[in-house]
Every structure is written in C-alpha cells, then in structure tokens.
C-alpha cells in the first residue's frame, strides 16, 4: 500500500529538467485549413498565428489556435514529397509534437540526450523582430516528439516564421484553460521501458499505477501508469494493452494509428457543466453516459461534492477522487474517423491524480464504441 500522497511522490522527481508547463501541441493533419475550422467551431479555439506560402513557407501550412493557455498547431504538408505526408498517410491525423516550455532548451537537450534520448532536433536559435526562441527536440514513444521551447527572450505571438492570423470568423471560447495531461498508448510489453525512459531521461516520477486487475471488463483489459514531472504541471499517463478474451481498446488504437502515439489530450476548465453543455451544442460528440447505478452510488464513492448530481448525470460527466480531493471528467469520441485521438475535459477539485472508478467507466464506454465499430 502506498503511504505517500501524489503530491509527496512528485517531490521525488529529479530536477535536472525543469519544465514550466506545456508550450504547445502540434498535430499533423490531412487538411489543416478544415481542421482549424473544426477546432474553432466545435471547441472554441481562437485564431492566433499562421505560417504557409503567404508568409514565405513553401512546403507546409500551419495554423496556430489558442484557448486559455492551450496552443494547438495544425500542420499539413503541401506535397507528397514532404515527410509529413508519410506521417499523415501512415497514422492519419494525430499528435506529432508535445512541446514543453523550459527555461533552457540547450540544457534540456544536453541533459536528456546524455541520458539516452534519441535526437529529433539539435538545439537551434530562431529569431525575428520580436526576439529569439531557442528550441531542441527528442523522440518519445512511436514517432511522437518532445520539443523543448525556451521563449524568455521572445515577445512575438508564437514562434519566428509565424504571422498573426486575422480571421473574420471568431466563435467564442468554451472556457478551456490549460493542458492537464496527455496520454500515450504503447505496444505490448513496452510499458516498463517507457516508464523507465521517463524516469531516467526526463527525471519524471511514477505517481499512480492501475493494473489489469483494476481496469478490465468481461472481455478486455489495460494497464496504465501516470508519469509526472516535479511540479505536476506535466503529466503523461502511459497505457499498454493487457490480455483479455477479446481485443484491448489500446490494441485497437495501435492497429489504427499503426503504431504508438497520443491517445488523448486532457484540457481543464473551471466549470465543466457549462463547458460541456457548450461543446455539445456545438456538435462535439461525447462517449455515452455511464449507467444510472454509477450516479446512484456516487456519493458513497467520492463523498460530498459541490455540484448537483442531476446536470452531471444528464451530461454524462464522471466524478472520482483521490486522497487529496475529487475531479470531474468527460471524454469525447475520437475526433477523426480512425478510432485514435480523442479529448478529455477535466475539472479538478483538489485531486492531483486520477481515480480507478472513472478509468474503468471510461474503459467500459470506449469498449461499447469499439464493439459498434466491429473491432472488439
Ligand atoms: Fe485522461
């Protein structure tokens, strides 16, 4: 039995790689112009910056969207010869870069590569009239990358090379504030080496573990371990499929993404009921609500909460707790036709980690969708 709280465990992280938070998330997509429209219309992101032929970039187009502190970059290749085309061909639309905001991108590169990280981008300094940004990058699971971004001497909108994106179409935001965590799916037998990589190369600490005895149904199972940096601003849970009578949903992801990659991005709000109502009215599709018994049993599981249960049940919002408080969560359906990347909306009320009850409820509702797709 663990005797330390999650907050106490975080203090055991190593401090050779200080991280201030998520800098941005970049997705490689088949049509960035249309994807940007979707994330504005459905999720309430705001137009921020653009790079493409009109700004002197010849081979890709990138749209930068912002909401709260969340910056989402949507990039598409402009020809089959660009290597991004291969990424999109193989994986479909998906997350390529989980960029981390650091104070020293050169030192982040040195500290991680000397501990065995595979190089994605050698350290470089890019400049424009607004100052300089220093960047470097390493590979994590699959073809996914951690970019280190140091922007203390930069006053521009996003990065050098990008221009302001002025749009006449500006739907209002839905109250999304920051990236809470990003989850990776890894292949059979790859959990331990991935966890060790985050411990050894990034100095992260394992704050929570769910095994296949906790997260299972009659048919399938998965294992999950949550990795966090020392201040808890960056959390990367990792999932691995586990043996069951039928196919694990993590295996379904691996089959359709054709490899390891980001399963979901969790974004925080201070008012999940209003945010989710808004998202639903804009056409965002969420997983089915759990059975009524989930809500009838809720007070026993999590104790007293500030919210009325009726709207939570109506919207299908899940509630769980850890030793420090509770949290409210809901999960979208995949945001592309392949059953790969989806989003989570989360509101934390004291809890720093996650609860097994919600994890299991999520797993069961994904499995119902998996069965509909004929992939169970
Ligand atoms: Fe999550």
Q: In sequence order, which residues have a C-beta less than 8 Å from that of residue 227 and are 6 or more positions away?
A: 195, 198, 199, 202, 204, 205, 206, 207, 235, 236, 237, 238
The whole model's pTM is what? 0.95
Distance in Å, CA 238 to ligand 1 centroid: 10
The low-confidence residues of the chain, meaning pLDDT below 50, are: 1
Q: How many CB atoms sit inside 10 A of residue 311's CB?
A: 14
Please say whether the beta carbons of 147 and 23 come within 8 A: yes
Distance in Å, CA 138 to ligand 1 centroid: 23
pLDDT on residue 21: 96
Distance in Å, CA 304 to ligand 1 centroid: 23
Distance in Å, CA 251 to ligand 1 centroid: 17
Q: Given 3.90.1200.10, 3.40.50.150, 3.30.110.40, 3.10.180.10, which CATH number is that of 176-373?
A: 3.10.180.10
pLDDT on residue 219: 76
Distance in Å, CA 228 to ligand 1 centroid: 13
Q: How far apart are CA 197 and CA 279, in angstroms?
A: 36
**Domain edges within the chain:** 19-164, 176-373
Q: Tokens representing 192?
A: 């331990």
Q: How far apart are CA 40 and CA 42, in angstroms?
A: 6
Q: How far apart are CA 30 and CA 49, in angstroms?
A: 19
- What CATH superfamily classification does 19-164 receive? 2,3-Dihydroxybiphenyl 1,2-Dioxygenase, domain 1 (3.10.180.10)
Distance in Å, CA 184 to ligand 1 centroid: 10
pLDDT on residue 2: 58
């Amino acid at each position: 039995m663990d005797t330390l709280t999650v907050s106490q465990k975080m203090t055991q992280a190593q401090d050779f790689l200080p991280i201030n938070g998520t800098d941005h998330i970049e997705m490689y997509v088949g049509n960035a112009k249309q994807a940007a429209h979707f994330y504005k219309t459905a999720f309430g992101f705001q137009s921020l910056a653009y790079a493409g032929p009109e700004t002197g970039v010849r081979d890709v187009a990138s749209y930068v969207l912002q909401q709260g502190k969340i910056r989402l970059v949507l990039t598409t290749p402009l020809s089959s010869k660009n290597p991004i085309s291969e990424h999109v061909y193989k994986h479909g639309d998906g997350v390529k870069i989980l960029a981390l905001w650091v104070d020293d991108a050169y030192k982040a590169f040195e500290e991680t590569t000397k501990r065995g990280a595979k190089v994605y981008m050698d350290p470089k300094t890019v400049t424009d009239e607004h100052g300089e940004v220093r960047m470097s990058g390493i590979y994590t699971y699959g073809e996914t990358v951690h970019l280190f971004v140091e922007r203390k001497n930069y006053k521009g909108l996003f990065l050098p090379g990008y221009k302001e994106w002025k749009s006449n179409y500006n739907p209002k935001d839905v109250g999304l504030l920051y990236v809470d965590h990003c989850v990776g799916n890894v292949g059979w037998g790859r959990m331990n080496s991935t966890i060790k990589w985050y411990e050894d190369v990034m100095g992260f600490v394992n704050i929570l573990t769910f095994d296949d005895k906790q997260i299972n149904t009659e048919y399938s199972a998965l294992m999950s371990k949550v990795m966090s940096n020392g201040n808890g601003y960056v959390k990367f849970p990792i999932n691995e499929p586990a043996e069951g009578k039928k196919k694990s949903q993590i295996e379904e992801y691996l089959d359709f993404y054709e490899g390891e990659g980001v399963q979901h991005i969790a974004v925080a709000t201070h008012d999940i009921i209003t945010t989710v109502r808004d998202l639903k009215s804009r056409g965002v599709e969420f997983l089915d609500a759990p059975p009524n018994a989930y809500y009838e049993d809720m007070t026993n599981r999590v104790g007293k909460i500030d919210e009325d249960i009726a709207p939570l049940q109506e919207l299908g919002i899940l509630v769980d707790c850890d030793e420090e408080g509770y949290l409210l969560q809901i999960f979208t359906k995949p945001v592309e036709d392949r059953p790969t990347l989806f989003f989570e909306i989360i509101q934390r009320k004291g809890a720093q980690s996650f609860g097994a009850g919600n994890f299991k409820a999520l797993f069961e509702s994904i499995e119902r969708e998996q069965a509909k797709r004929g992939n169970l």
